[in-house]
């Protein structure tokens, strides 16, 4: 008897018809002699609508109430799916995050899972029930409802797969896998048969929205393979798993584009120790993630510091900088929202010289100016003008022949 953990995202459970189809699939799987745990998201755009409602009422809603509200979305789905299962003769039980034993810290709207007590789930499974668990939610030590951050149902599913020792966690979604690049941007995009956890983490953090980054971290930590596949077809998707050193690795597996950024430049700060520490400690203290950072020498004893933040964090960052600017005495602070980041990711890159150069050349050939460059072992990112991002996506995808059937391997 195998144990299956499956997760269905918002578009996959968007209406009753879809829920009924999923119920049939789950029941069949169980009747074939398997144990089934299913994690679901809120239906369609429910979470977005709930967010809008509370913000229409209050500019700054209490975090606790926001989580109490948002967690209701998934609760609607679990009860309906369980009822759909029962209506076709299956035995099923819906469980909220707390009932499913998901203990989190108390950071509302971005809580981390600390522990999972699987007793209740195991008990229900042993009674022959299909367990329908709410994604995206848990409870802290005090029993307060928490949520895991937008897209967090993926994390619930992988964490449950880990604690229940399922070999694979299947993520059913509205795309048929992980692509070399967003197929909406480049029509030659190709589905990858597999990708390593590290590459997927980079992709997820760099703006590919398919998977919640924390879910990939869980997968890596507990060795749970994650199969990302379409809920609307039978075809195999993409397996996120460890790629061993014996296996072939793609030089470049994928490309991520992020247009949700703003660049900030602090011009003419004194060249002395402690300035960067001061600036970035304050920004981090406000919970703002900083990405590409560059410091360059303007002239003797003066530096410029450039960095990017998410567009949503721009005004908060600017007001922090204004507040502390007399402490580091910069001449000017600029910002630019007309920027975008294109990144290539590939585990094989570390062993292939010239990958970054090939990317720069492809951009240069189309006269695309690079404003900031940042690299790691498995990625190269370039900040460019936002209005060039589609062209850049196309040509970089081409430059690494990612649309071809045979990807370049090392």
Encoded tokens for 38: 């299913």
- CA–CA dist 213, 207 (Å, integer): 10
- Select from ligand ASP, Mg ion, none the partner in contact with residue 101, using the beta carbon and a kind-dependent cut-off of 5 to 8 Å: none
CA-closest candidate to residue 7, choices 229, 232, 304: 229
CB of 77 to ligand ASP, least distance (A): 9
Encoded tokens for 257: 């584009």
- Cβ(308)–Cβ(341) below 8 Å: yes
CA-closest candidate to residue 131, choices 161, 152, 175: 161
Q: Nearer Cβ to ligand ASP, position 41 or 308?
A: 41
- Cβ(122)–Cβ(158) below 8 Å: no
Stretch that binds Mg ion, among 6-14, 74-82, 97-105, 316-324 (CB under 5 A): 6-14
Number of Cβ within 10 Å of residue 404's Cβ equals 12
CA-closest candidate to residue 219, choices 260, 177, 171: 171
Encoded tokens for 233: 């077809």
Q: Nearer Cβ to ligand ASP, position 120 or 150?
A: 150
Q: Nearer Cβ to Mg ion, position 9 or 73?
A: 9
CB of 74 to ligand ASP, least distance (A): 6
CB of 173 to Mg ion, least distance (A): 6
Query: Binding of Mg ion at residue 177 (CB under 5 A)?
Result: no
Tell me the site size for Mg ion, rule CB under 5 A. 2
Stretch that binds Mg ion, among 47-55, 93-101, 149-157, 308-316 (CB under 5 A): 149-157
In sequence order, the β-bridge partners of residue 332 are 267
CB of 112 to ligand ASP, least distance (A): 15
Q: Nearer Cβ to ligand ASP, position 211 or 345?
A: 211
The b-or-e profile of 341-366 (16+ CB within 10 A means b, else e) is bbbbbbbbbeeeeebeebbeebbeee
In sequence order, the β-bridge partners of residue 92 are 130
Q: Nearer Cβ to Mg ion, position 151 or 177?
A: 151
Q: Nearer Cβ to ligand ASP, position 35 or 153?
A: 153
CA-closest candidate to residue 160, choices 101, 246, 248: 101
Cα–Cα distances in Å, from 405 out to 187, 192, 275, 287, 400? 14, 10, 49, 42, 12
Helices assigned H by DSSP within 88-148: 119-126
Classify residue 184 as left (phi > 0), alpha (psi -120 to 50) or beta: alpha
CB of 131 to ligand ASP, least distance (A): 18
Q: Nearer Cβ to ligand ASP, position 155 or 180?
A: 155
Query: Binding of Mg ion at residue 151 (CB under 5 A)?
Result: yes
- CA–CA dist 15, 80 (Å, integer): 10
- Select from Mg ion, ligand ASP, none the partner in contact with residue 150, using the beta carbon and a kind-dependent cut-off of 5 to 8 Å: ligand ASP
Looking at 4, 6, 8, 9, which residue binds Mg ion (CB under 5 A)?
Answer: 9
In sequence order, the β-bridge partners of residue 8 are 40, 172
User: 130 by DSSP, 3-state: which?
Assistant: strand
CB of 48 to ligand ASP, least distance (A): 7
CB of 58 to Mg ion, least distance (A): 26
Query: Binding of Mg ion at residue 346 (CB under 5 A)?
Result: no
CB of 154 to Mg ion, least distance (A): 6
- Select from ligand ASP, Mg ion, none the partner in contact with residue 97, using the beta carbon and a kind-dependent cut-off of 5 to 8 Å: none
CB of 178 to ligand ASP, least distance (A): 17
- Select from ligand ASP, Mg ion, none the partner in contact with residue 136, using the beta carbon and a kind-dependent cut-off of 5 to 8 Å: ligand ASP
Cα–Cα distances in Å, from 118 out to 83, 139, 152, 161? 23, 14, 19, 10
Which chain residues interact with ligand ASP by CB under 6 A? 9-10, 41-42, 47, 73, 135-136, 150-153
Stretch that binds Mg ion, among 144-152, 180-188, 253-261, 370-378 (CB under 5 A): 144-152
Binding site for Mg ion (CB under 5 A): 9, 151
């Amino acid at each position: 008897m195998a144990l299956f953990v499956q997760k269905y995202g918002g578009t996959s459970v968007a209406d009753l018809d879809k829920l009924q189809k999923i119920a049939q699939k789950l029941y069949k799987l169980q009747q074939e002699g398997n144990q089934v745990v299913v994690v679901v998201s809120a239906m369609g755009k429910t979470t977005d609508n709930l967010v809008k409602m509370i913000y229409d009422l209050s500019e700054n809603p209490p975090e606790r109430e926001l989580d109490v509200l948002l967690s209701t979305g998934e609760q609607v789905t679990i009860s309906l799916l369980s009822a759909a299962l029962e209506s076709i003769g299956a035995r099923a039980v819906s469980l909220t995050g707390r009932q499913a034993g998901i203990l989190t810290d108390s950071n509302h709207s971005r809580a981390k899972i600390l522990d999972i007590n699987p007793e209740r789930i195991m008990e229900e499974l042993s009674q022959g029930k299909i367990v329908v668990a709410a994604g995206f939610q848990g409870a802290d030590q005090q029993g307060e409802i928490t949520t895991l951050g937008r897209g967090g149902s993926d994390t619930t599913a992988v964490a449950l797969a880990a604690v229940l020792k399922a070999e694979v966690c299947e993520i059913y979604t509205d795309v048929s896998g992980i692509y070399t690049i967003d197929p909406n941007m480049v029509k030659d995009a190709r589905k990858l048969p597999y990708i390593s956890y590290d590459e997927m983490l980079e992709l997820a953090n760099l703006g590919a929205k398919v998977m919640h980054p924390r879910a990939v971290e869980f997968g890596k930590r507990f060795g749970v393979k994650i199969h990302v596949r379409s809920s609307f077809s039978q075809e195999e998707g993409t397996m996120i798993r460890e790629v061993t050193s014996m296996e072939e690795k793609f030089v470049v597996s994928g490309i991520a584009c992020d247009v949700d950024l703003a660049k900030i430049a602090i011009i003419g700060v004194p060249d002395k120790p402690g300035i960067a520490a001061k600036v970035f400690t304050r920004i981090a203290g406000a919970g703002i993630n900083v990405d590409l950072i560059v410091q360059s020498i303007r002239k003797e004893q003066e530096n410029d510091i450039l960095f990017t933040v998410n567009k949503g964090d721009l005004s908060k960052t600017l007001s922090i900088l204004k507040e502390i600017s007399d402490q580091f005495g910069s001449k000017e602070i600029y910002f630019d929202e007309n920027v975008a980041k294109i990144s290539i990711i590939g585990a094989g890159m570390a062993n292939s010289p010239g990958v970054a150069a090939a990317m720069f050349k492809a951009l240069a050939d189309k006269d695309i100016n690079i404003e900031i460059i940042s690299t790691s072992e498995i990625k190269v990112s370039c900040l460019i003008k936002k209005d060039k991002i589609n062209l850049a996506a196309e040509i970089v995808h081409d430059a690494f022949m990612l649309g071809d059937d045979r990807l370049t391997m090392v």
